[in-house]
Amino acid sequence: MDGLITNTTTSPFTTLILPYVYLESVDQKLKWNSWSFDEGLSSRVPYESAARTLTQSKRSYSGYTVRQGLAINLEHNFMMSEAGRTNFQRQLQQMIGSIQYTNDIDVHIALITAPSFLKERSEKYYSETKTSAQILREHIDAFGFLNKNQNGMDILIEDCKATMEQWGAQPPTFLLCNPKLTFQMTMSPTATEYVTHGPDGQKKLAAGPNINSYRGLSVIRTRTFALEDGGMPRDVLRRRTRTGEFYSHTQAIAEYNGGTRFNMELYDEGSDQFSQFSPMDYKTAIETAYTASLVNAAQGNEVFVNGNTTHVHWLVFRPVIEHEMHGIVIGRGGVESLGCTFWGQTELSVYDDAMHGIWGMSYKYNERAMVLNNKHLMRIWDCCYDNYCGGKGLNVCDDFENGSNDFQDLFKPYNGPSIWMVPVPSKKSNFTESNFQLNMQDPNAAAVPISPEQDQLLRDVPTLLKLIQDHIDSIVPAAGGAVAAPTDDEKNAYMNWVRKYLPDLSTVHMRKPAGTAANENETSVNSIVFKGTYRIYNDAGNAISSNNGCSHHGTDYVGAASCRSGKGVRSMVAGIGAPTFLPAPPAMMEIRNVP
């Protein structure tokens, strides 16, 4: 029996996106080239000189089909009973569904792991028109964009269309996303409230989301696949992503050595409330851990008590805030536009084992889904929250001598400490001129990838360890000063303690592109930490400073946990979801539907 045993009528993945194409010679190496004939501007030339030659570029790709196989077993003489015949029919249906199920996951993986055309353009047309601050601002604004903006999906679709048009690609035809995202397209409050749509809005809310096309695109819902033994089926466009925040407070050295307390108020996403803790409660444990690394223990904590030290900058980090995030794929499907699913050389064999009373059937075939033209494919990662994993609580990493290595496990949801803190002695009154972001990478890192597709690199983000080293080195005597500075051994001992205690994110930062990491169920880590939402109180309970936050998650407020668990969208109406630290707006009048 020859032919592909499957039912394509129920799968848009092998009909609309990457359609089936029969391959005669399945063992051959499949090769294809991607040519780029870029249009250029003509230039003025003298009559007798040669004109500038237009350039072309070519990228070569190759791949092989994969031999797949499935089998079923039944009892001997199963055709002699009605129950046996029914079971046989259902197992055949199971085989048909399993073959299509296998081909569907192959299409998903081909879409998320295909080379990024956006990255290829970034490598070809290197530009410094945007500063690192601008690139970071765009990156963090796009994180969880659908939960931050009620019209987020509309904006993303139109932005993708405009970008692909700039590439010279044809208009997209499909949108691949999780069913949770289709709910936001049709069930937003503005589309279902009685105030805006009357009884039709309430009927729409009661009927639930039902959408097959949106803004001219066929909406295709992703499938879940059991990719790990014993693991729950999962969506490959849903992945775990870690972001980071930092908070700071500066004390005069007299306040620090005198034990003057202050409380830092932070948002705990697990409990959806603000809570306070005092870093000064850990002062003794931190100094004990630092002095334990001194060569001469008699020197003590000289960097803190030296007469040239004038300030202590408390740095509090939450570098492993982990969420599960959804992504979307927009493209133009079809053999001529995007690619296809090759298949061929099918084989169906039947066997009868009378000795063991078993009758069986085995089916084998070659198959491989391939994206042949990535110009018609665009992926947008981390655009919608789905779940909060951990890392934004108030549990402190209190092993100040060794730190914690929980952050290095990237194959399960994070469940380790949330807070690391470092007091930095200095002769400078301000920690850094950059109050926006810090890089917890190695100080020698020349360029740091920031975007999920790794198409954007940062080259001038302040590096944390280098900044701390600059503050330690600033502790020198003033001109004519009588007090000697701390020794190099004392400064090195402090820096060694910092390196040992703080998590070294350079070992896990952006190890793989987003598609590869999602396919392998590996968490993606970002080593850039941003200023988060916090408030500082003195020992009397009076607020002395605050910051509303400029991280991936925006300003924290009570109720934000719902949006960051994929259960809601932050309202654009003033007063709903307002930050705790800002003045509360006037109450809104409640409108009721009175018969």
Full 3-state SS string of 113-144: HCCCHHHHHHHHCCCCCCCHHHHHHHHHHHCC
Contacts of 584 (CB under 8 A, 6+ apart): 575, 578
CA distances (Å), 520 to each of 119, 336, 511, in order?
21, 30, 12
Residue 379: helix, strand or coil by DSSP? Answer: strand
pLDDT tens digit string along 167-181? 889 999 999 999 888
Amino acid at the residue 362: S
pLDDT of residue 326: 95
Whole-structure pTM over 0.75, yes or no?
yes
pLDDT of residue 575: 36
CB 568 within 8 A of CB 562: yes
> What is the Cα–Cα distance from 568 to 561, expressed in whole angstroms?
9
Domain ranges of the chain: 8-35+61-113+339-372, 132-236, 238-326+384-563
Token output for 216: 């001219």
The pLDDT confidence band at residue 590, using thresholds 50, 70 and 90, is: very low
pLDDT of residue 78: 86
* Closest alpha carbon to 241 in 322, 304, 311, 297: 322
> What is the Cα–Cα distance from 441 to 431, expressed in whole angstroms?
18
CA distances (Å), 179 to each of 381, 386, 510, in order?
16, 12, 27
CB 455 within 8 A of CB 119: yes
Question: How far out from the chain centre does Cα 231 lie?
Answer: 21
Question: How far out from the chain centre does Cα 105 lie?
Answer: 21
CB 197 within 8 A of CB 221: no
Half-sphere exposure of 156 (CA within 13 A, CB side): 32
Greater model confidence, 476 or 7: 476
CB 585 within 8 A of CB 578: yes
Residue 417 has pLDDT above 70, yes or no: yes
pLDDT tens digit string along 14-68? 999 999 999 988 888 999 888 888 778 888 888 888 888 888 888 888 999 999 9
Question: How far out from the chain centre does Cα 400 lie?
Answer: 29
pLDDT of residue 209: 64
Q: In sequence order, what are the beta bridge partners of 549? A: none
Residue 277: helix, strand or coil by DSSP? Answer: strand
Q: Report, as an integer, the average pLDDT of 363-368.
A: 93
Residue 420 has pLDDT above 60, yes or no: yes
Q: In sequence order, what are the beta bridge partners of 349? A: 362
Token output for 534: 């916090």
Q: How far apart are the first and last CA of the chain?
A: 67
The pLDDT confidence band at residue 297, using thresholds 50, 70 and 90, is: low
Greater model confidence, 586 or 191: 191
Q: What percent of the chain has pLDDT over 90?
A: 43
CB 512 within 8 A of CB 411: no
- For the chain, helix, strand, coil in percent to 5 are 30, 30, 40
pLDDT of residue 570: 64
Contacts of 28 (CB under 8 A, 6+ apart): none
CB 268 within 8 A of CB 275: yes
Residue 407: helix, strand or coil by DSSP? Answer: helix
Q: Report, as an integer, the average pLDDT of 246-260.
A: 92
Contacts of 409 (CB under 8 A, 6+ apart): none
Phi, then psi, of 474 in degrees rounded to 5: -75, -10
pLDDT of residue 300: 62
pLDDT of residue 440: 80
CATH no. for 8-35+61-113+339-372: 3.30.2400
Length of the chain: 595
The pLDDT confidence band at residue 295, using thresholds 50, 70 and 90, is: low
CB 544 within 8 A of CB 250: no
* Closest alpha carbon to 58 in 84, 89, 33, 29: 33
* Closest alpha carbon to 367 in 1, 4, 2: 4
Question: How far out from the chain centre does Cα 31 lie?
Answer: 32
Residue 189 has pLDDT above 80, yes or no: no
Residue appearing with tokens 């790709």: 61
Contacts of 59 (CB under 8 A, 6+ apart): 33, 34, 36, 120
pLDDT of residue 186: 64
Question: How far out from the chain centre does Cα 250 lie?
Answer: 32
Long-range contacts of 201-209 (CB under 8 A, 24+ apart): 209/179, 209/182, 209/183, 209/185
pLDDT of residue 147: 86
pLDDT tens digit string along 514-569? 999 999 999 999 888 999 999 999 988 999 999 888 889 989 999 899 888 877 66
Sign of the C-alpha dihedral, residues 167, 168, 171, 172? negative
Question: Which H helix or E strand runs over 180?
Answer: helix 179-186
pLDDT of residue 418: 96
pLDDT of residue 391: 95
> What is the Cα–Cα distance from 590 to 587, expressed in whole angstroms?
9
